Amino acid sequence: MIELKNLTKRFAQHTAVDALTFSVQPGEVLGFLGPNGAGKSTTMKMLTGFLAPTSGTASIFGSDIQTQTLKAQRQIGYLPEGAPCYGDMTVRGFLEFIAEVRGYRGADKRVRVDTAAGQVELDTVLSQSIDTLSKGFKRRVGLAQAILHDPRVLILDEPTDGLDPNQKHQVRELIRGLAQDRIVIISTHILEEVTAVCTRAVVIASGRLVADGTPFELESRSKYHQAVTLVGESSLDDVALAALPGVAGVEFNQPERSITVLAKPGQVIFPQINALITQQGWTVKELNVERGRLDEVFRTLTRGEAL
């Protein structure tokens, strides 16, 4: 597993990472979230051994990143933001170059390249130069170089940033497949990435951990958890909706011309609303129950306000 204990980094009078403590188990896909300047990049640099902490420790499957740096780094595959590659190389040429850098030669090198390319479905473009590939395929090349040495840990920085919806779906499916027996950490500012791929999320702000839980647990901290949104063919009685048991308030949404009925913490209000609709004979075009809004939770957490 990965374990961070009181990991801290100070630059002069500025504390970029402040006593960060958490662990990650194999099979988990961890979303590492925070606003700009929160300390995400600094944490990743310490975790991968490129920056020494001021205090605290980080270990990769028992190997301390400071005292056993190379042993720890051999277990890490890293995909930088933008998946930078040598564009004039072919896909096979680039992967063979990475394999050689990692010490593989001959048949072992060929097996490593072919296996990594097969895992991320690059077989049809192995002879193409990287410059000619779409962004989605370039990300696949980046993933292939990251898993070529079969690491136990994958650290991915903004893996789907800038991709179209189809490309995002493809890359996310690849990540899910790769995560089955590995630890995957995704550093991202795209909140939809968390609900789409991650099994857990850690949120930091000002270098400190402010939340740690599954996407559902974080969404349940939203004021919109269990809220019900209605769109009627005619005006709905917001006063009657607000008076229902368990209702915390009513919001009007423009330009959708819908009403969102908020639930009090721990309350389920859909049955009462459904019964009122039947009683009043309202014609409702849409009726949706919300899980919660991660963006609202994120904003509240990183503003330092209590939920």
**pLDDT (tens digit per residue) in 281-297:** 999 999 999 999 999 99
Q: Does residue 141 sit in the same domain as residue 233?
A: no
Q: Does residue 107 sit in the same domain as residue 215?
A: yes
Total of domains in the chain: 2
Q: Does residue 143 sit in the same domain as residue 207?
A: yes
pLDDT value for 304: 55
pLDDT value for 161: 77
Domain termination residue (choose one: 187, 205, 220): 220
The answer as to whether 298 is a domain residue is no
Q: Does residue 12 sit in the same domain as residue 115?
A: yes
The answer as to whether 197 is a domain residue is yes
The answer as to whether 68 is a domain residue is yes
The answer as to whether 245 is a domain residue is yes
Domain termination residue (choose one: 195, 220, 245): 220
Q: Does residue 127 sit in the same domain as residue 252?
A: no
Domain termination residue (choose one: 204, 220, 236): 220
The answer as to whether 304 is a domain residue is no
Which CATH number covers residue 280? 3.30.70.100
Query: Which domain range does residue 33 map to?
Result: 2-220
The answer as to whether 206 is a domain residue is yes
Q: Does residue 279 sit in the same domain as residue 138?
A: no
pLDDT value for 192: 85
Render the chain in DSSP notation, one character per residue.
Answer: -EEEEEEEEEETTEEEEEEEEEEE-TT-EEEEE--TTSSHHHHHHHHTTSS--SEEEEEETTEETTTSHHHHHTTEEEE-TT----TTSBHHHHHHHHHHHTT--HHHHHHHHHHHHHHTT-GGGTTSBGGGS-HHHHHHHHHHHHHTT--SEEEEESTTTT--HHHHHHHHHHHHHHGGGSEEEEE-S-HHHHHHH-SEEEEEETTEEEEEE-HHHHHTTSTTTT-EEEEESS---HHHHHTSTTEEEEEEETTTTEEEEEEPTT---HHHHHHHHHHHT--EEEEEE----HHHHHHHHHTT---
The answer as to whether 299 is a domain residue is no
Which CATH number covers residue 187? 3.40.50.300
Q: Does residue 20 sit in the same domain as residue 112?
A: yes
pLDDT < 70 regions, the chain: 304-307
